[in-house]
Structures are given as structure tokens and as C-alpha cells.
Amino acid sequence: MRLEFALCFALPASLGLLSALVPANAALAQENTGVAPATVEACAAIDSDPVRLQCYDRAVGRDPHRVAKAERQNAELAAAYDALDARLHPDGVRNQAEERVAASIASRELSALDRRWELSPESKLGSFNLRAYKPVYLLPFAWNNRPNRLPQSPNPDNRQQDPFDLQPTEARFQLSLKTKVAQGLVFGEGDLWFGYTQSSRWQLYNSRTSRPFRETVYEPEALLVFAPKAKLLGWDLRMASIGINHQSNGRSLPLSRSWNRVVAAFGFERENWLLTLRPWWRISEDAATDDNPDISDFLGRGDINLVHRRGDHEFALLARHTFKSGEDSRGALQFDWSFPLSRSLRGHVQLFEGYGESLIDYNVRSTQVGVGISLFEWF
């Protein structure tokens, strides 16, 4: 069965949500009734400054009536440490090993996957904290070399009869959020996350047709996330998940497109690199009501996402494939580059080549280029 969505964003609401993402995050965190974060270090993973400050206060149980007591305890602890350090190093000199250990402790940070998925005990933030998921961006200029003016599908009920008047240049944006709803579900391991991603393509420059939204894809999912620890060819396996994923464009016939999948994911990291492997299996549907019976032969049966951070620049390469040969060998490549513009705003460039940039275009091959800004990326 296809899950239909009643959600339909107009431009002001969509752009308002994009610009208000950080304040909304703070308001939600303030009302959060989940458990407190396990450690102060866990709060460093939060992107929003107001939410991160509230997390620190909650983690340490900050209370104005207890501040004076805490200050006295800190002073006593500092005095005890100074006395011990003076006994161990009467000449005031530490050896190189001690200096390296001290520097390591002082600069200790959670890994990228740990920050994103709260994998270690030190990174736990509790439940119902709204977090960024996939990149959140706005591309005012997105060029398509092959606009799909006559969407088709093997199902006769899903074939457009009259061509659309489409411009090759449009605007595109993506919103993506996630939250953990429960943790430790399987023998004390396994956290349940809910994610939601929405991407829209808007014919902003098409005044002849009143600038319509050409396509919006809604993608809710539920994931059970685990924290394995293993090494493979120099990479650290830090995350594994299994989940249910739904994608739909929420349209009526003949433009309706949707599918449901069981998706597994394996996250690896090494220094400033992230690698995510995702095989998936489509959940079969009744052939009479299947909007797109051949979608797996175009959107593929899995993808690989490779992300590299160099300084303040971030590069991501996404590859999808059908895992077939010959004329059935199809897929897509997407390259994203983000770079700093200000403290909280980044530039974003996106290149796409292949099948299925959106659901309505699942069986159309195109080359697309987009330029704009982003709020959140993978790191």
C-alpha cells in the first residue's frame, strides 16, 4: 500500500522553516522531557548554540542555589590538583609523554559518527532532541539539461498524457531532521530514531505557469541504530542500522510515485572521512496499484556515500547502482561541495548525473547543477 501524505508546503512556510530551524531546535529542547545527556561532552554534538547551552545546563544540573557550592568544590579540587602536581613535579617540568596525555585529554572530541548518532555512552543526549539529519540547503539556481515534461511509468494509470511547460532552471531545497525516541531497546543496545527528509523542486522562473512546485519528495523513516566496533582495511566500523523507509511525492494519478524499503546501513570513519554503505530491499506491492513497478531498475538497490572534510570545506560523493550489468546497469552520481560564508551559513554546490534525481524522474537520465547555501552538512 502506498502511504499518501497530506503535507504540502507553500514557499513561505518552507523557507520559514529553513531559516527558523535553529530557533525551533532551541524551543523544542527547552520543552524536552527526555532524560538528561550522559556527559557534558555529549552536548558538543549539538549544532545550535542556544540548544547546546541548555544541554550543558541540563547535563550538569545547574541550579542558581547550588552555584556557590559548586564554586567552592571546584576551588578545593583545583587546590588538591596543584598540590599533587607540585609533589610529582617539584621542578615544574613534565616529560613529553605526560604533556601528550594532557593535551589529548584536553582536546578530546567525539567522532563524527558518534556526534551524529550518539553511539558511545559519553555522547548520549537523551530522547526527543531535534537534530539535523541529511544536509539542509537552499539552491536558488538549479539547472536541468532534460526537464521531464511527460512523466511515464509501466503502469498505464501513471502515464501523463499532455506535456508540461517546464523551464530548465528552477529552485531546489531540502529539509532533513531526526530525533531519538528510545535507547537501549535490545539488551541495552540499539537506539530507535525517527527521521524525516523533504526535498522540493520549484519552477521559480516559470512565470507562464504561475511558478508551480514541480515535485516534492517526502521521506519518513524509522531506524534501529547500533554501535559496533570493528576495523576493516583501515576503516573503523562505528555504526550499523536497520530500518523502514518510505518515499512518496504525495501526488494523485497519473503523477503519483512511491515505494517502501527495508534499508540497512553501515557507517565507517577514518580521520576526516566518513563512508556509509546502504543496501536496501523494496517491499513488494500489488501490481495493479504499483505506481512504479520498475523503480529498482533505475534508482538501484543500494548506495555509497563518501564524505571528506578538509579544513572548513566539505566534499560528498553519493553513488547509486542497480547491481546489474549490460543495458540494465543504471545508477547515479551526486557530488556536493560546501564551504564557509559566515559563522552559521555555508555555500553549497551540487552536481548530479544519472537516473532519479526525484521520484517523478525515477526513469529519466539527466545532468543537473545547483548553486546556493546550506545550514547543516554531514560533519
Of the candidates 106, 125, 123, 105, the residue with the CA atom closest to the CA atom of residue 114 = 123
| 346 marked ligand binding residue | no
Cell 508551480 belongs to 212
Angle subtended at Cα 154 by Cα 149 and Cα 160, rounded to the nearest 5 degrees: 30
| CA 275 to chain CA mean position, Å | 13
| 47 marked ligand binding residue | no
| 251 marked ligand binding residue | yes
How far apart (Å, rounded) are the C-alpha atoms in residues 36 and 39?
Answer: 9
| 120 marked ligand binding residue | no
Phi, psi (deg, nearest 5) at residue 265: -145, 145
Catalytic annotation on 248? yes
User: Helix/strand/coil (H, E, C) string of the chain?
Assistant: CCCCCCCCCCHHHHHHHHHCHHHHHHHHHHHCCCCCCCCHHHHHHCCCHHHHHHHHHHHHCCCHHHHHHHHHHHHHHHHHHHHHHHHHCCCCCCCHHHHHHHHHHHCCCCCHHHHHHCCCHHHCCCCCCCEECCCEEEEEEEEECCCCCCCCCCCHHHCCCCCCCCCCEEEEEEEEEEEEEECCCECCECEEEEEEEEEEEECCCCHHHCCCEEEEEEEEEEEEEECCCEEECCEEEEEEEEEEEEEECCCCCCCCCEEEEEEEEEEEEECCEEEEEEEEEECCCCCCCCCCCCCHHHHCCEEEEEEEEECCEEEEEEEEECCCCHHHCCEEEEEEEEEECCCCCEEEEEEEEEECCCCCCCCCEEEEEEEEEEEECCC
Q: Which of 248, 258, 358, 366 is catalytic?
A: 248
Catalytic annotation on 127? no
Q: Which of 111, 127, 246, 308 is catalytic?
A: 246
State the binding site.
210, 251, 256, 291
State the binding site for Ca(2+).
210, 251, 256, 291
What are the catalytic residues? Answer: 246, 248
